[in-house]
Structure formats: structure tokens, C-alpha cells
């Protein structure tokens, strides 16, 4: 898969790609990432990429000229039809389902904004989709773009050393993870759940699934409700979900309380 990132901070993007699974995917040729800096396309001596908002108000807006020039240059290096995605707090949620769709593509263009955002006409004329990474404010689109790259890379065939890791993801798809333990067997007086030392792999599997369901019920009740309504959930997962009390029926804030 080929990805281009349009950014005022290409070194920030390139720097983050030098680590871990993404770095290895680049080295293996499973992924390639290029960057394009809109400042390259400025014509004034100061390299101006932003300007004051029409209508007034605080903050600056990215000028359309240099940004659209950078988008077109980067897009020309990608396979025909590669979608142009603008990372923005106003975008649709970036989810694992969206990651799976995007990871199928041969090419993807990501546009990272800075300042208060980009001139709306850039979105109208040079953007196909807008994505948000969550309901909080970050300072620009670079970390969101890197989040998207990271999530997609994990889904590229051969990117994970141990291919079980992504199958395991599907075992508990739609659930939070279970708790993990490693040596020592006792750490600061805290032991390891005995079932994990039992060697009984069926018991271990059941315990992990129950833990994942309980955590999901406590921390993300909406996720569990979404799973209940799904037809194609693995049988053992469906059973574990059924066996868990419905969200709100008693647990957590009441647990251990004397009436």
C-alpha cells in the first residue's frame, strides 16, 4: 500500500514512522509513505501558508493555493482513484471497520491541517472524505494521520510478525482486551490468577473471554449492546456475552456497597 501525507511538518510524520511495526512494514516493502509540504508551493519570500479568517475571529486558516497544489502533487504519485482524506475534528469517526476498508486500497492520500483548519473550498474541490480520530482536540492532523497509518499497517498481510495477533483480534472483536500477566509470579505482593498457571487451555480461554466481557460491560456498555445485536458473533463469545448481566443491572457502582 502507498500512502502520501500532505503536512507542514513532514519531519514529524517521517520521524514517527521509524519505529516498530510501521518501520518494519516499510523495510519489507509492504507499505511506502511519502510526504508533501504545502510550503514548497508558496511564492512569497516568507513562505506564507496561513492567513486571517474572513469574517474575523481568532486564529488563522490554511490558505487554499499552496495546500491544493501540494494535494495535487502528492495525489499524482498515487494509483488512479486513491481517495483524498482530510483529518479533521469535524470528520466521520475513524473506526476499526473504516481501517479495514482503507487497508484494502492500493493508495491513500492523507491531508493534515494546522491552525484553525483549512479554507472550506479546499475540502469542496480536493477532498473526498473527512475523518476524525475522536472527540477531543489535538493541535493538527499529523498525529491523527499517523494513527490512521499505524492502524492500517497492522492490517496489511505480513506486517505483524506473529500472524496470530490479528486473528486473536477477531476472536474478541468488539470486546476490550483481557488482563495480561508475565513473570515474576508475584510482583509487589500481587499474584497471577491461578487459572493462568493451571495449564488448562480450555479453562484459560474461557476465563479470558469472561474477563473481556466483564471489562467491556463495566467500561464500554455501548460496545456490548452493539455486540448483542450482531448475528455473526462467534458462538463462545455470544454465550459469554449472554452470561454477563446486562449493563446497568446492578454492577459496578453498586458492587460492594452496603445498600
Q: Which chain residues interact with ligand 9D3 by CB under 6 A? A: 87-89, 113, 116-117, 132-134, 136-138, 140-141, 144
> Could you give phi then psi for residue 71, rounded to 5 degrees?
-60, -45
Cβ closer to ligand 9D3: 12 or 218? 12
Cβ closer to ligand 9D3: 70 or 237? 70
Q: Cβ 165 to ligand 9D3, closest distance in Å? A: 26
Cβ closer to ligand 9D3: 141 or 175? 141
Q: Cβ 118 to ligand 9D3, closest distance in Å? A: 9
Q: How many CB atoms neighbour CB 64 within 10 A?
A: 19
Q: Cβ 130 to ligand 9D3, closest distance in Å? A: 9
Q: Cβ 148 to ligand 9D3, closest distance in Å? A: 9
Cβ closer to ligand 9D3: 38 or 113? 113
Cβ closer to ligand 9D3: 8 or 17? 8
Cis preceding-peptide flag for 184 (omega within 30 of 0): yes
Residue 114's alpha-carbon distances to 104, 119, 136, in angstroms, are: 28, 11, 15
Q: Cβ 169 to ligand 9D3, closest distance in Å? A: 23
Cβ closer to ligand 9D3: 112 or 159? 112
Q: Cβ 64 to ligand 9D3, closest distance in Å? A: 17
Amino acid at each position: 500500500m502507498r500512502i502520501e501525507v500532505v503536512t507542514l511538518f513532514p519531519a514529524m510524520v517521517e520521524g514517527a514512522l521509524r519505529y516498530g511495526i510501521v518501520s518494519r512494514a516499510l523495510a519489507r516493502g509492504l507499505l511506502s509513505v511519502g510526504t508533501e509540504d504545502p510550503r514548497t508551493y508558496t511564492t512569497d519570500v516568507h513562505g506564507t501558508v496561513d492567513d486571517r479568517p474572513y469574517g474575523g475571529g481568532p486564529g488563522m486558516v490554511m490558505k487554499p493555493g499552496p495546500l491544493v497544489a501540494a494535494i495535487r502533487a502528492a495525489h499524482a504519485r498515487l494509483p488512479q482513484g486513491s481517495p483524498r482524506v482530510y483529518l479533521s475534528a469535524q470528520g466521520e469517526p475513524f473506526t476499526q471497520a473504516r481501517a479495514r476498508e482503507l487497508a484494502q486500497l492500493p493508495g491513500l492520500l492523507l491531508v493534515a491541517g494546522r491552525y484553525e483548519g483549512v479554507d472550506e473550498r479546499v475540502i469542496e474541490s480536493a477532498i473526498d472524505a473527512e475523518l476524525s480520530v475522536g472527540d477531543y482536540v489535538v493541535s493538527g492532523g499529523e498525529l491523527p494521520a499517523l494513527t490512521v497509518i499505524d492502524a492500517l499497517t497492522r492490517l496489511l498481510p505480513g506486517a505483524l510478525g506473529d500472524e496470530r495477533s490479528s486473528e486473536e483480534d477477531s476472536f474478541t472483536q468488539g470486546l476490550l482486551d483481557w488482563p495480561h500477566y508475565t513473570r515474576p509470579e508475584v510482583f509487589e505482593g500481587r499474584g497471577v490468577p491461578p487459572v493462568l498457571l493451571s495449564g488448562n487451555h480450555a479453562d484459560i480461554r474461557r476465563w479470558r473471554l469472561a474477563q473481556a466481557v466483564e471489562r467491556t460491560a463495566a467500561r464500554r456498555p455501548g460496545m456490548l449492546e452493539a455486540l448483542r445485536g450482531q448475528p455473526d458473533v462467534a458462538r463462545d463469545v455470544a454465550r459469554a456475552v449472554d452470561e454477563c448481566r446486562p449493563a446497568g443491572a446492578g454492577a459496578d457502582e453498586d458492587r460492594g456497597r452496603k445498600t
